[in-house]
Amino acid sequence: MEMVSVKIRKEVVQCLACKKPIDFLFLSDFSYGERLVYSDAGLPCAFCRLIDDKVYDEYGELVRQVLKDNLKEISEDKILDLITETFGVTCDEINGNKVDFSKKQKKECLFCGGNNFSRNTIEPESYIEIELPLVSHEKWLNMEFKEKYELVKREVLKE
Ligand SMILES: [Zn+2]
């Protein structure tokens, strides 16, 4: 597993219930085409560069193909969301966990579970570097076209 060093913007806000400081981590603002992958606990657990990921282009084309073959007409915005949200199916598991791009950062206090926070940050925003596994696609790259197509079909026609 390849590890990458990722620059993260840290915002500290205050939990309105227990008054403890809570960190929220975001990718720095100059990160077009890059995504953090979040774990079930809502913490960053991997990193993905969509912009130079050939599999992302391939996956996008396949999603469009499946939609077309199944006469599904949805708006371009929805197609792009669908591609990004379901892209995890092409990714290798990380430490036994599926990569799921639809998971978001959990906006919840670690101490009391509250979800109301001060509107303003209570510390100047800062940047930190964290080491995260880079998303890989070994398994996907070894699949036959038909297998990929079926996988995408299951994912895309789920609803
Ligand atoms: Zn709290």
Per-residue buried b or exposed e for 43-67, using 16+ beta carbons within 10 Å of the residue's own CB: ebbbbbebeebebbeebbebbeebb
104 CA from centroid of ligand 1 (Å): 19
Give the count of domains, the chain: 1
The pocket of ion ligand 1, defined by CB under 5 A, consists of 15, 17-18, 109, 111-112, 114
Q: How much is the pTM? A: 0.82
Domain that holds residue 118: 3-156
Residue-level pLDDT, tens digit, the chain, 159 residues? 899 999 999 999 999 999 999 998 888 766 678 888 988 878 889 999 887 789 999 999 999 999 999 999 999 999 999 998 899 999 999 988 899 988 888 888 989 999 999 999 999 989 999 999 999 999 999 999 999 999 999 999 886
Cα 131 to ligand 1 centroid, rounded to whole Å:
27
Distance, CA 103 to ligand 1 centroid (Å)? 22
Q: What spacing in Å lies between the alpha carbon of 25 and ligand 1's midpoint?
A: 17
φ, ψ for residue 69, nearest 5 deg: -60, -30
Ligand 1 centre and the CA of 64: distance in Å? 44
Degrees, nearest 5: CA angle 31-125-81: 35
38 forms bridges with which residues in the sheet?
44
CB of 157 within 8 A of CB of 63?
no
